[in-house]
Amino acid sequence: MYRLTIKTGFAAAHNLINYQGDCENLHGHNWKVEVTVTARELDQAGLAIDFKVLKRETNALLDELDHKYVNQHHFFQDISPSSENISRYLFHELSKRLNDNNIKVERIGVWESDNACAEYYE
């Protein structure tokens, strides 16, 4: 098995729902996002997946959130846009775009600060 990870990010505002504290107020983060995929085999070029493709698909998805109010995104209409829920959303959406007979999204890590990360995996 091979494991590949990229790091990227986005900046956006949100407020947590049903949270008793300051984070229930509107605030923003410069989120860092780690995407890890696995592959069983390499292609003829010796690649599991081109990093360029992995970055392009990830950043296309992050463009939906970048410099936006995350609470207004369709996925977060009924759930709190916590780092946990953002990581789950990104996992499922990237899985639709990338998973095939060889590539599988393994985990998504969403860092809301240098010291706090939520990961989602299945």
Catalytically annotated residues: 23, 67, 112
Annotated ligand binding at 27? The verdict is yes
Annotated ligand binding at 74? The verdict is no
How far apart CA 22 and CA 79 sit, in angstroms, is 18
- Pairing relation of β-strands 116-121 and 103-113? antiparallel
CB-based contact 49:81 (threshold 8 Å): no
Annotated ligand binding at 14? The verdict is yes
Task: Please give the annotated binding residues for Zn(2+), written as ranges.
Answer: 14, 27, 29
Which residues are annotated as part of the binding site?
14, 27, 29
